[in-house]
Structure 1
Amino acid sequence: MKTTLATMITLIVASIAFAASGAESDGSGILLALFIGIGALIIVFQMLPGLALFGSMLKGLFSGKDAESRN
C-alpha cells in the first residue's frame, strides 16, 4: 500500500513537472521579429513613392487646365 501510494505521488509530481516544462512557448526569437520588421519597412518604403505618384495623378486630373493648353 505504501509502495503504491509513493508510486502514485511520484507520477503525479512528475506529470506536473512535465506539464510546466515550458513546451508551450512558440520559440520565436529576435531573428523572427527582425525579419518581420524588415519586411514591414520594405512595404512602407515601397508605398511612399506610389502614394506620391497617385497624388500627382489626382492633381493632374483635377487641375483647372484643359488638355490643349498643356501641349
Structure 2
Amino acid sequence: MKAIANALIITIATASSAFAASGAAADEGGFLAPLFLALGVAVIAFQTIPAIILLGSMVKGLFPARKEEAAR
C-alpha cells in the first residue's frame, strides 16, 4: 500500500511539471477562443433585457396604482 502511494505521489509530481512545460498555450486559442467569448457576451447581453423587464414589474408591484373612488 505504501509503495502504491509513493508511486502515485511521484507520478503526480512529475505530471504537473510536464503539463506546465507543454507549451499548449502558444497558439492563444486561434479562432474559436474569441468566438466563444463573443457567445458568452451575447448570452449575458440578451439576458439583461428580461432582467430589466422583471425588475420593472417587481417595482410596479411594490407601488400599486391608486384606484379612484367610484362612489362619490
- TM-score of the pair, normalised by structure 1: 0.48
Give the number of the structure whose alpha-carbon radius of gyration is greater: 1
- TM-score of the pair, normalised by structure 2: 0.48
